[in-house]
Structure 1
Amino acid sequence: MFILRILYNLLIIIIIPFAVPLGFLFALKKKEDADYFQRFGFITFPEPPAKTVWFHCASVGEVRSLKQLINAFRRRYPDAEFIISTTTATGKAIAEKELKPYFAFLLPIENPIAIPYILYCMNVRATVIIDTELWPNFITSTSKHAPLFLVNARISDRSLGGYMRIRRIISPLLHKFEHIFTKSDEDTARFAAIKGDSANISTLGNIKFSEFEGEPDLSVIKPITDKPFIVAASTHKGEETAVINAFLASGFDGRLVIAPRHLHRTEECLSLLKSAGLNPCALTGFDPCCSAVVADVFGQLEALYRTADRIFIGGSITNIGGHNIFEALRFGRHVAVGPNMQNFREIYELAAEYRLVTTAANEHELAEFFSSPEPEGNFEGFRAEVQASADERLGRFLEAMKVALID
């Protein structure tokens, strides 16, 4: 492992001179140049607090999942501050706006010099990685400095085989964590199999399913609310056709709004809608005469969920495994999904128990959902169970952090 790590770091050092100029051009194109050099460790830090916890989130979804945890953290440890790193500029911006950390920055991924520098400069007492971000240098450096925690840890059906094939590499990394908190008992068993033992691994549940407070900003999508509309959110290639066919068959008197998972597919979705005989436009060029809209603006899903008359969430017709339905459920909305929800099995099964989700096995069943009144579920019961579970989960996690924050 020692030799592998040396070779790995040599490879990173070789790549950096080529990555800097290429990445800078990409950053300029994406208008992220202001933060670009943070990715390589060029970060100006503020005066460090006495105690700091470092949270790392990949992007927007992970950042937003932290809201309730951060609120509980501030109440439990008022004398500690927290910093947040992300791998995307959008995630960093959302963290600064919604979580108000002491400092937010872009992670210098796998930089063997920058990571120890950050730990030293900011008096980091503990590091918390949200979701399964297993960067070898990051894990090795942070675990040497202070206790390291993995929260919302998950291994999907599709990735399990790959992890098992390289378990001799992954297992030593997993042993460096103070504790691994998984999303489910199944994930706990999978991490134990890869690690080689179950010590310091326990099921916490999904911290993404806890935040019911707060209203989205509706200003961007307000123009399309002049008529009833159906939203098909986080759709993937192949799913839009099924949604369009169901929409046309339903006779729904209003618009169809498609919010593709990847915005670069906007033109493709517009073409599909036009081929189906609809009059489409992009949200950024909205025309009230349009019968269909492609949401080509990032970060509008919650606003669409809040105002749509019917909601379908994609990644569930194709074998992606589904996307986060809690973002819609938290507003008391009923959602429709396809049959493939294995990535969000816990919240899907709970929502089904409270009659808040409809599983459409085909276009005909989806058309029925679009044309029927929104089913009435037991939202209050759902909310009470989720909240009680969330309070218990957060309490367990914050108790585990005492090892780092209590002098």
Structure 2
Amino acid sequence: MVQIFYSGYGLLGLAGLMVLRLLRPLLRRLPSRYSHGLDQRLDGVPQGLLAAKNGQQRLWVHASSVGEVQAALIILEALAREVPGLQYLLTTTTEQGNKVARLRLGEDIPCLMAPLDVPLLVRKSLERLQPDLYICLETELWPAMLRESRRSGVPVVVLNGRISQRSFLRYSRVAGLMSWLLQGVAGVAAIGQEDGRRFIGLGVAPARVRVCGNVKSAAVAPPGGTARAHYRRLLQLNREQVFICGSTHRGEEALLLQVYQQLAACRPVVWLLAPRHLERLAEVAELLYRAGIGFDYYSTLEKGGQRGHAVVLIDTMGELAELYSVGAYNFCGGSLVDQGGHNIMEAVRWGRPVYYGSSMADFQGPAAQLEAAGCGFRVEDGEALAALLLHHQTDRKAYQAACLQAEALKSGQTAIVQQQLALVKELLQPEA
């Protein structure tokens, strides 16, 4: 039955691919969010993309969007240091993820948009690239890639693996198919115990699952706090406290504006506001205009412009994880509205507490870890967030205690990258 379902999936995908190829001239006119890397998505990995292997081993690394790319960069940096001589291809499924990857990796590693998950297209891409290992980050469980990799004898490993409760319930509706597809997964480095149990529940052999922690929390600040010093200069900060609201969604900015106004009424505060989706910038700007709040765009300051306001609207991608370094109060969005939250480990790694709302369904494990450590703070609404931040403004002992707990948590994360790296090295069998 599952093979019949997969055959149907392949036929539907092939029909859709043929239609999209016919419509290619029209698709090129769509906004870049939809048309970016169109040929790569419709034609697959090009022939001769990488130099001849000549005894080298080749890794295909897939990271869906910006968050997964950040994790992939940590893994790639460690691999380059400990296993020199490997060849790499990095693919993403979003324009923003692709741009961040290309910016950070330059010409060193090809960064493409992933081919559509059509069996024929995936098979052709695997034949052209001939990878020795396929690495996917977090929850990129695409049926054709899983099945065709197994057929081609390419081991698949999931790093920084996580499956939210919502995703698990969705996958469970096709439990037989998922079990059949996941039988070929050679290893999973799960973020938490619950993630590991969910992978096993979907069909990954228990012996192939190990819980390693979140690699994103293992990325430490550069020596000497160079990131913090860089962003303080760029933002032209003096003695102001910095309130950062990252990855915000519709409905959150209005609540956070009130929080900012309460904080700013007590002492000078610079507010950095980073909407999750850049296409909402005009909407957020309009909200600030209506409230009579002047602001600067981050890109203007990046180009050397002078900051004229206490509010900065982040209009670039790929900066947020490092920008958290200057925050005194770091709030992670998608949590005061029903979006399941966003990555709170990116913020806590700078030795500062992190704040978030009650909607953390996609990050329950990290939230529980931070709350148990005393450096993660969950609030019910904007009023509760304002009250907590005002408390931390006035009770410096309580705030410093939370900072110390964040530092202690960070210092215990150094083994995470090594554990995930060990799984990769075990699967990279030496060439004969």
The alignment-based identity, stated in percent, is 24
The correspondence for 1:383, drawn from 399, 406, 410, is 410
CA drift at 1:34: 7.6
Query: Which residue of the partner structure matches residue 234 of structure 1?
Result: 247
Contact 2:335/2:356, CA 8 A, preserved across alignment = yes
| In structure 1, distance between residues paired with 2:34 and 2:236 | 29
Alpha-carbon deviation of 1:321?
2.6
The answer to which structure has the higher helix fraction is: 2
| Equivalent residue runs for 1:65-84 within 5 Å | 65-84=71-90
Corresponding residue of 2:50: 46
Q: Read off the aligned partner of 1:70 and give its amino acid letter.
A: L
CA distance in 2 between counterparts of 1:368 and 1:317 reads 15
> Structure 2: which amino acid aligns with 1:38?
Q
1:10 aligns with: 11
Q: Is the 8 A contact 1:58 1:88 kept in 2?
A: yes
Where in structure 2 are the equivalents of 1:286-305 lying within 5 Å? 288-305=307-324
- In the TM superposition, what are the counterparts of 1:213-362 in structure 2 within 5 Å? 213-214=221-222, 222=234, 225=237, 228-250=241-263, 251=265, 252-280=267-295, 282-283=297-298, 288-362=307-381
**Residue segments in structure 1 that go unaligned for 5+ positions in a row:** none
Q: Distance in 2 between the 1:6 and 1:221 partners?
A: 57
* Residue 204 of structure 1 pairs with residue 219 of structure 2: no
Is structure 2 residue 182 aligned with structure 1 residue 168?
no
Distance 1:390 1:330 in 2: 14
Tell me which residue corresponds to 2:69: 63
- CA deviations on 1:166-196 (whole Å, 9 max, x unpaired) are 1122111111212233222212222222228
Q: TM-score, normalised by structure 1?
A: 0.86
Residues 342/15 of structure 1: CA separation in 2 closer, same or farther (3 Å cut):
closer
Query: Any conservation in 1 of the 2:355–2:379 contact (CA below 8 Å)?
Result: yes
Distance 1:57 1:275, change over 3 A: same
The answer for the alignment partner of 1:107 in structure 2 is 114
Q: How far apart are residue 258 of structure 1 and its match? A: 1.9
- Contact preservation (8 Å) 1:221, 1:303: no
State the SS of the aligned residue for 2:206.
Answer: coil
Worse-matched range after superposition: 2-11 or 216-225: 216-225
Checking the alignment, whether the CA contact within 8 Å between 2:212 and 2:416 is kept in structure 1 is no
Q: Which moved more, 1:217-226 or 1:308-317?
A: 217-226
2:126 paired residue number = 119
Equivalent residue for 1:156?
Answer: 164
Q: CA deviation at 1:132?
A: 1.2
Relative to structure 2, which stretch is displaced further, 370-379 or 43-52?
A: 370-379
Task: Indicate how the Cα distance of structure 1 residues 259 and 137 shifts in structure 2: closer, same or farther if over 3 A, else same.
Answer: same
Shift of residue 116 of structure 1? 2.7
Q: 1:138 aligns with which of 121, 139, 145?
A: 145
Alignment TM-score, normalising by the size of structure 2: 0.82
- Which is worse superposed, 148-157 or 100-109? 100-109
| RMSD (Å) for aligned C-alpha atoms | 3.2
8 Å contact from structure 1 (residues 24, 36) kept in 2:
no
